[in-house]
Chains A and B, each alone.
Chain A
Amino acid sequence: MQTKEMFTSRWGLLLAAIGMAVGTGNIWRFPRVAAQNGGGSFLIPWIVFLLLWSIPLLMVETAMGRHARKGTIGAFGRLMGPNYAWLGAFVGFCSMAIMFYYSVVAGWCFKYLSGAIGGGLLEQSGEQYWTAFQANGWESIVFHLVAMSVAGAIVYRGVIDGIEKASKILIPLLFVLLIGGTLRAVTLPGATAGLNFLFNPDLSLLLDYRIWLEGLTQSAWSTGAGYGLLLSYAVYTSKRDDIVMNSMTIGFGNNSASLLAGIMVICSVFALAPADPGAPAAEELLQLGGPGNTALSFLWIPALFQQMPFGRLSLILFFFALVVAAISSLIAMIELGTRIFMDAGMDRRSAVKFVVVGGFLLGLPSAYSIQFLMNQDNVWGIGLMVSGFLFAVAVNKFGVRRFREELIEPARNDIPVGRWFDILLKWVIPAEFLVMIAWWLYQATISDPRWWSPVAVFNLGTCVFQWAVAFILFRLFNGRMAAATLTESEG
Chain B
Amino acid sequence: MQIGTIVMMVLVLGLVWGGFAVLLWMSIKAERHGD
Report whether chain A binds chain B: yes
Interface size bracket, B side = 20 to 34
Interface size on A, residues (CB 8 A): 26
Which of B1, B5, B16, B17 is close to A40, meaning CB atoms less than 8 Å apart? Answer: B5
The residue in chain A whose Cβ has the minimal distance to the Cβ of B23 is A249
0 or 1 for each of B3-26: is its CB under 8 Å from A? (1 = yes): 011001100110111011001101
16 contacts between A and B (CB under 8 A): A10-B30, A14-B27, A192-B1, A195-B9, A196-B2, A199-B8, A199-B9, A199-B12, A242-B27, A248-B19, A249-B20, A252-B23, A253-B20, A253-B24, A259-B16, A414-B35
Set of chain A residues within 8 Å of B31, measured between Cβ atoms = 9-11
Main secondary structure of the interface of B (DSSP, over half): helix
Leading 6 A-B pairs by shortest Cβ distance? A252-B20, A200-B4, A199-B8, A249-B23, A200-B5, A256-B20
Contact in complex: B19, A252 (CB < 8 Å): yes
Chain A residues with a Cβ under 8 A of chain B: 9-11, 14, 40, 43, 47, 192, 195-196, 199-201, 240, 242, 245-246, 248-249, 252-253, 255-256, 259, 412, 414
CB pair B5 A240 closer than 8 Å: no
Residues of B within 8 A of A242 (CB): 27, 30, 35
Q: Which residue of B lies closest to A240 (CB)?
A: B35
Which residue of the partner chain A has the closest CB to B4? A200
Chain B residues with CB under 8 Å of chain A are 1-2, 4-5, 8-9, 12-13, 15-17, 19-20, 23-24, 26-28, 30-31, 35
A127 to B26, CA, bound (A): 46
> Which residues of chain A are near B16, meaning CB under 8 Å?
47, 252, 255-256, 259
**Residues of the B chain whose Cβ atoms lie less than 8 Å from the Cβ of A195:** 1, 5, 9
Q: How far is the CB of B5 from chain A (nearest CB, A)?
A: 4
- Is A414 a contact of B26 with CB atoms below 8 Å? yes
In contact, B8 and A249 (Cβ under 8 angstroms):
no
CA A255 to CA B12, docked complex, whole Å: 10
Q: B31 to chain A: closest CB distance in Å? A: 5
Q: Give chain A residues whose Cβ lies under 8 Å from the Cβ of B13.
A: 259
Q: A249-B20, A256-B16 are in contact. Are A199 and B5 (CB under 8 A)?
A: yes
Assembled-state Cα–Cα distance A196/B30 (Å): 38
Q: How far is the CB of A250 from chain B (nearest CB, A)?
A: 9
Alpha-carbon separation in the docked complex, A232 to B20 (Å) = 23
Residues in chain B near residue A11, CB distance under 8 A: 27-28, 31
**Distance (Å) between the CB of A204 and the closest chain B CB?**
13
Q: How far apart are B30's CB and chain A's nearest CB, in angstroms? A: 6
Complex Cα gap A259–B24 (Å) = 17
CB-based nearest B residue for A195: B5
| Contacting residues, chain B, for A47 (C-beta < 8 A) | 12, 15-16
* CB-nearest residue of chain A to B12: A43
Taken together as a complex, chains A and B put the C-alpha atoms of A256 and B31 apart, in Å, by: 22
Would you call B23 and A248 a contact (CB within 8 A)?
yes
Given contacts A9-B31, A43-B12, is CB(A249)–CB(B24) below 8 Å? yes
B residues near A14, Cβ cutoff 8 Å: 27
Tell me if B2 and A200 are in contact (CB < 8 A).
yes
Q: Which residues of B contact A40 (CB under 8 A)?
A: 4-5, 8
Q: Which of A192, A249, A255 is within 8 Å of B27, CB to CB?
A: A249
Chain A's nearest CB lies how many Å from the CB of B12?
Answer: 5
Cα A196 to Cα B3 with chains together (Å): 9
Residue in A closest to B9 when the chains form the complex, CB atoms: A199
Please tell me if the beta carbons of A259 and B12 are within 8 angstroms of each other in the complex.
yes
Chain A residues within 8 Å of B30, by CB: 10, 242, 245, 414
How far does the alpha carbon of A159 sit from the alpha carbon of B30 in the complex, in Å? Answer: 22
- Asked whether B8 lies within 8 Å of A200 as measured between CB atoms, the reply is yes
CA of A414 to CA of B25 in the docked complex: distance in angstroms? 12
What separation, in Å, do the CA atoms of A128 and B4 have in the docked complex? Answer: 40
Contacts A195-B1, A201-B8, A414-B26 given; 8 further ones with Cβ under 8 A? A43-B12, A47-B16, A195-B9, A199-B9, A200-B2, A245-B26, A249-B23, A256-B16
> B2 contacts which chain A residues (CB < 8 A)?
196, 200
**Residue in B closest to A41 when the chains form the complex, CB atoms:** B8
The residue on B at minimum CB distance from A250 is B23
